[in-house]
Structure 1
């Protein structure tokens, strides 16, 4: 016969949710920072080849 599992405590549930939310916030912050650096042209960690895109749009 099946036996129900023990219930996870609220503190453990909240801790896991907080961890997941903080990871998502960190990734969003990094993505925004990278986007800002690309737009400003000061990015050293991201290489984009805009000249090819410009040539395709002009054709």
Structure 2
């Protein structure tokens, strides 16, 4: 016969939610920083198709 599981405490639920929110916030900040660097042309962490074409011409 099925037995109901124990209830998750509020603190555990809030802790998990805060962790999820913090991770999402960090990824959003990374995406915004990358977008800003692409607009200014100072990107160092992204290799675009244009960069690869210029690289192949050099070799």
1:46 equivalent in structure 2:
46
2:43 alignment partner, SS class: coil
Q: Which runs of 5+ in 2 are unaligned?
A: 54-59
What value does the CA root-mean-square deviation take over the aligned residues? 1.5
Q: Which runs of 5+ in 1 are unaligned?
A: 53-59
How far apart in 2 are the matches of 1:6 and 1:15? Answer: 18
Question: Which structure has more RCO (C-alpha within 8 Å, separation ≥ 6)?
Answer: 1
TM-score (norm 1): 0.79
